[in-house]
Structure 1
Amino acid sequence: MSKLAVLGGTPAVPRTQRGVEWPVIQDEDRKAVLDALDGGRLVSDTDGETPVTTLERQWAERFGHAHCVAVTNGTAALQLALASLGVGPGAEVIVPALSFIATGLAPLHNMAVPVFADIDPVTFNLDPKDVERRITPRTAAIIPVHLHGAPADMDGITDVARRHGLAVVEDAAQAPGATHRGRPVGSIGDMGAFSLQVTKNIPTCGEGGLLVTGDAGLAETARRGRQFGEVIESGKDRDYVSHQLGWNHKMNGLQAAFASAQLGRFDHYEQARQTNITRFLARLDGLPGLTVPKPLPGTTHVWHILRFRFDPAAAGLPGITDTAFRKALRRALRAEGVPMSQYQLMPLPDQTAFRDRLGFGRGYPWAALEPSAEHVPEHVPADSRAEYPVAHAVIRDSLTIQKRHLSPTSGELLERYAEAFEKVWENLDTVAKLAGARS
């Protein structure tokens, strides 16, 4: 039995093999950016074909979307989607209790109230049954998140939405290329939002986002919304007339050019990821007390983040709490060279912005739901563990791997990661002592 690195043994992952970078930047990416810079068509309101319109067309063609609107980032895409659907003051929007904070902030940006629902313990996505019990007469929309690249239960969610007359905006920020029953995520609801932020499976050189829809009217509303409410028509001079509430959510040409170059290599990268990651997960799947990520039947997971759940009792350590076990495993695996980390330290409803109802001040937009009150309490004390037990449990007993596995060359590194997991599991008695010391 090998000695754990945390106790002075040799790490399973040599330091010389830990340097896999993401994103992969090649000469064609640099050329694309320089060509865009030299071309002088750097913003999306330029007449004619631009790097932005090229990216919109290429994305729509590759993933089967009827309409694609490029914006500044994924958060802007979510906010603009809700605005295009008319979701605003006095409305509630149901979002998952576990997600990146942008999912909950997007309704607030439109003066709507986020209402949180619990998640599925396997996919970590919205639980349709919990969504339904949180619907009120004020509910206007649902935002399912395809978290970590795993498609949500869109059959269940769209069924709930259809029966209650609700809009569906898919947060597909982490899931380009994922499919649900053969359909690309983002195209199943009324609108879908993607992020091109530099850590994503298809990145740009910084920030970027895309909004997709099958409805031409919604697409046109979104295009006006990203450009101050103006109508930009090819071949016509800009008139600077705002026809609706708008923002400055335009993507610049350099970001679009870089993303287009990355999109051109996506199929190759995705094929390599599927091979590397499924082999890695299959190797870990039999370790007692470890649950590896798995997609729903009939879906394609694109593995943006790998989340692992740990059960000390199933690992043969019934006297250890799940939190202590998770902390001890994180310490041991990181010492072996596996960069285990937490993704989200608390459920969204526990974030200060939502818990204290900071919003726009004086309790808004929550106060808009209570017109007889001058304002709602600035702080809403609550123990959310009873309301969102699954989200709390997942945060308490899980760790993630991020970014390193996205490179098409990560296969060998993932093999070393698997060796590290196996080594740690061979030393669970030592892990139990570490857990006892840290519990």
Structure 2
Amino acid sequence: MSRLAVFGGTAAVPRPLRSVPWPVVTDADRAAVSRVLDSGALVCNADGETEIAELERRWARRVEVGHCVGVANGTIAIALALAGLGVGPGDEVIVPALSFAASGLAALHQMAVPVFADIDPVTFNLDPADVERRITPRTAAIVVVHLHGLPADMDALMALARRHGLAVVEDAAQAHGATLGGRPVGGLGHAGAFSIQVTKNLPTCGEGGLVTTDDAALARRVRLARQFGEDIEPGTPRDYLCESFGWNAKLNPVQAAFAGSQLDRFDDYEKQRQANIEAFLQRLRELPGIRVPGVPADRTHAWHVLRFRFDAAAVPGAEPVALREALRRLLRAEGVPVGQYQRRSLAEQPVFRDRLGFGGGQPWSSAGEPPEPGSHPVTDAVIADSLVLARNHLHPDSGPLLQRYADAFEKVWEHRDVLRAMAVRP
């Protein structure tokens, strides 16, 4: 039995292998950016058609919708979609309790109150039954997050939305290319919101976002809103007339060109990523007490994040948090960069717990009593007993690295006596 790295043994993942670049930047990406720089068309409203329009057309086809609007980032994509759907002051928006803060902040920026619903313990996505329990006469919309890249139960959530007359925005920031029943996410609700930030499966060279919809009127409202409410058409003089309330939320052509070049290789990268991750997970499935992420038969997973839950029953006497922390320490010493994705539920993050917002306590002054601690028990349990892997596995050539990670997991599992000693309080 090999000695654990935390006690001076050789790490399963050698230090030189631990740094993996993402995104993969090629000469084609550099050429795409140079093409825009040489053209001088460096802003969204440059004369003539820009790279933004081409990226919008391509992503709309990919998502199988009629319209795509490029915007500044994924957070504003959610906010503009909500705004375009009429969500505003006095409304409530249901958001999963486990997500990045942007999913809830987008509602706040519309002066709407985010209401957090619990999640499914296996998919980590919204639990439709808990969503229904939290609907009130003030509920206007649901932000459905396809967390980590796995589609949520959109059939159940859309049926629920139809019964109650609610708008549905898909937060697909982590789910590029994922499908449900053969249909891509981003085209299953009333609008989809994607991030193309540099860490995402489809990255740009910084920040960016995409709003997708089959609703032409909604797409126009989002397009107006991204640039001060102006209706700017390529090749026509700008009249500086604001037709509606808007933001400065533009994507720029350099970002669009880089993302478009990455899109040329997206399918190849995705195919290799699926093979790499399946081979990795297959090894981890053999280890007692670890629950690897699963994929229902009707869905595909984009694998933006890999979340592993640990069953404390496999280490008698261990508390979930103590077991998680012991595993974090041992695995990181072996060179596996496990960590936590969100350390608290959204309901317990200070911005939402302390009801921060705009002057006069808006929009919270119109909200009911805050939820009691423990109101999202599944979310709390998942946070307590799980760790995640992010980013390194996105590289298409990460297969050998993931096998090293599997070596590290197996090595730690061989030392369950040490794990138990670290995780069980005397």
Q: Same fold (TM over 0.5)?
A: yes
Summarize deviations over 1:189-240 as a string: whole Å, max 9, x none. 0000000111000100110000000011100111001011111123321111
**Matched residues, number:** 426
Residue 6 of structure 2 corresponds to which residue in structure 1?
A: 6
Tell me if structure 2 keeps the 8 A contact 1:343–1:399. Answer: yes
Tell me if structure 2 keeps the 8 A contact 1:43–1:52. Answer: no
- Inter-partner Cα distance in structure 2 for 1:308 and 1:175: 18
- Inter-partner Cα distance in structure 1 for 2:360 and 2:218: 32
Q: Shift in Å at residue 71 of structure 1? A: 0.2
Q: Does 1:325 align with 2:314?
A: no
Q: Shift in Å at residue 61 of structure 1? A: 2.2
Instruction: Point out the more displaced range, 231-240 or 77-86.
Output: 231-240
Residue 84 of structure 1 corresponds to which residue in structure 2?
A: 84
Residue 384 of structure 1 corresponds to which residue in structure 2?
A: 373
- 1:21-420, aligned counterparts within 5 Å? 21-313=21-313, 315=314, 317-369=315-367, 383-385=372-374, 387-420=375-408
Residue identity over aligned pairs, in percent, reads 63
Q: Which residue type is aligned with residue 100 of structure 1?
A: F
Summarize deviations over 1:39-96 as a string: whole Å, max 9, x none. 1111222243201111111212233221000000000000000000010001000000
- TM-score, structure 1 as length reference: 0.95
- Inter-partner Cα distance in structure 2 for 1:390 and 1:24: 36
Q: Unmatched 5+ residue regions in structure 2?
A: none
Residue 435 of structure 1 corresponds to which residue in structure 2?
A: 423
Q: Which residue type is aligned with residue 384 of structure 1?
A: P
Residue 374 of structure 1 corresponds to which residue in structure 2?
A: none
Moved over 6 A (4+): none
SS at match of 1:156: helix
Q: Shift in Å at residue 362 of structure 1? A: 2.4
Tell me if structure 2 keeps the 8 A contact 1:42–1:51. Answer: no
- Inter-partner Cα distance in structure 2 for 1:396 and 1:369: 29
Q: Unmatched 5+ residue regions in structure 1?
A: 371-379
Tell me if structure 2 keeps the 8 A contact 1:322–1:396. Answer: yes
Summarize deviations over 1:367-387 as a string: whole Å, max 9, x none. 2458xxxxxxxxx776421x1
Q: Shift in Å at residue 296 of structure 1? A: 2.3
- Inter-partner Cα distance in structure 1 for 2:198 and 2:287: 33
- Inter-partner Cα distance in structure 2 for 1:280 and 1:266: 21
Tell me if structure 2 keeps the 8 A contact 1:229–1:246. Answer: yes
- Inter-partner Cα distance in structure 2 for 1:186 and 1:233: 25
- Inter-partner Cα distance in structure 2 for 1:357 and 1:10: 48
Residue 422 of structure 1 corresponds to which residue in structure 2?
A: 410
- Inter-partner Cα distance in structure 2 for 1:98 and 1:129: 16
Instruction: Point out the more displaced range, 168-177 or 228-237.
Output: 228-237
SS at match of 2:361: coil
Tell me if structure 2 keeps the 8 A contact 1:225–1:244. Answer: yes
SS at match of 2:212: strand
Q: Which residue type is aligned with residue 143 of structure 1?
A: V
SS at match of 2:247: coil
Tell me if structure 1 keeps the 8 A contact 2:49–2:234. Answer: no
Tell me if structure 2 keeps the 8 A contact 1:23–1:198. Answer: yes
Summarize deviations over 1:234-273 as a string: whole Å, max 9, x none. 3321111111110011111111111111111100100000
Q: Which residue type is aligned with residue 325 of structure 1?
A: L
- Inter-partner Cα distance in structure 1 for 2:134 and 2:86: 21
